[in-house]
Structure 1
Amino acid sequence: MKKGYKVTDVKREKKIGVAAENVEELVAKSCKKLGFNVSCADCRLFVAEDGTQVDDDDYLATLPPQTLFILLKNTEKMVTDFDYYYEMIRSQKKEYIDTGAAAKEFLSTNLKEKFKVFQKYIAAGDDAKTMLSERAQDPGWFEGLELSEKTKEQSMSKRVKERMRGYYYKTKTALQSSDIYIHSKNGRGKKLIDQFLTDLRNILDSHKYNETYFNRKANKNARICDERGLFQCGGLWSADKCLYEGEHVINPYRSREERIIFQTWNLDHKIELSRSIIPKILQAIDGLYSGDIKCMLCDKGSKVGGIEADRYFLQIFTRENLKLVHIVCHYKGKHDAESGVYTLCKKCYGGQSIEYN
């Protein structure tokens, strides 16, 4: 009986689906689909996750459908998923290093076992170098970073600013893709959204993209880590603390490896950006557009007013709604927490400001 499998080559550039009954059929079909210009006899098949060679039908029968295999030519060397993705992260390829996407993909299954391997790199870090700050003092830590990054604190501040920019552009893209932005009469919906985005960006600029969050030398109340640079997981979005107390900790200031692995940690929105915040922003803008505003302060209806951008700023960019979490504690299902429609009537609009950390 045939089962469906996934097969790729050593470069992981193309992934194909193959239905096969035995190893010979699987190799032959994979060889053809991947465009290998060699004989099937010159190819070898391996399980991608652990590098086990598959050369008999009995072993193939024990593997579940959709197992991912690597098909190699005899001249090529097998590289396991962990080695491939970890080296990709270490090599500082920008498309992966910006978001830790490669590590996240690799860590999407069998997390406990895979993190045991990552922990080896963390344990191997030289703690004596943790408190060193300047590039000249610990040049290995800065390998692959821009020369303009002179201190660890400056580099870590840059990393959090990149995340904040990501949230802003995700919001911007969603709002500018909306029906009210594209199809509103006389471009009024477009103007309202552009004005809201300008207000949001100005608040973000004025608070320097919350660059202090990852800076261990910042004020205690302005940073997430301790004075040595140690970060602890905040746990699931709905929990008060992490269930893996003492295990989900990391100090990206200690070694280059930990700095890279830290990018798999997430700033998780308790009230979700895509599922709740952005839809509520659009609802608020629609109220302005249609002249049907419910003021959140005086609770009165109005035809003219504005949006309290500060409130959305708090939810998108600050620790009022963000929690730093280990990838194991990043719950990707729907959160039972909702944003709101933060509109103000003309009388209440203006001069309204919210305090935040």
Structure 2
Amino acid sequence: MSALSRKPKTFKLRALHSQKKFGVAGRSCQEVLRKGCLLLQLPVPGSRLCLYEDGTELTGDYFWSVPDNAELVLLTKGQSWQGYVSDISCFLSMFHEPHAGLIQAARQLLSGERAPLRQKLLADLLHTVSENSGAETRAEDPPWFEGLESRFRSKSGYLRYSCESRIRSYLREVSCHAPAVGAEAREEYVRVVDAMGQKLRAAQYNGGYFDRGAKAGGRLCTPEGWFSCQNRKETHHRPHTG
């Protein structure tokens, strides 16, 4: 079937770093490119079309295999696009510190977004920047302390307590395992657990691991309260719970 006898393909087109989309239809890559440049008032020479999702350049051979209503980015000479990561990097680089403008922009993007992956990325971003992570005391961030005992006056204090409680729990679990150890090794097992308990008590159960105010060598998080968690399969970053 020739291109002229086919129904024109429709696309959602935007310029680089622009959230405004335009509907464009055409029977060839060059036709869509020309219409897009005219619509966006961009020069045709040196311009090209890329898929918004992953940055794949749209060519004549690939044109008819792209789904209808696919999102395209129109790039002029010297511009580049790497997919979602480009949009996110640009979005974040505009703001050194999260503020109302960033939060509002993220909410607007999320409200009009339908792609599941982009919805998740925006939702996670919005959750992170909406947190009042710079606040430390109960007076500065009352919602963070909801449900906690009144004796906790700072985030670092509560997280230090939380870390100590967790390590105490681990130690109790190890101690309770002693009866299951064989008779020949049980005495040595108890001795090692007792020695470990003494060291942990002397170190205040390493409560500083969760305290972003602790010295660099005594905490697992960054000064901003971020953790880098790793296992065999993945590496990811988790925010301080404040």
TM-score, structure 2 as length reference: 0.47
- Largest Rg, 1 or 2: 2
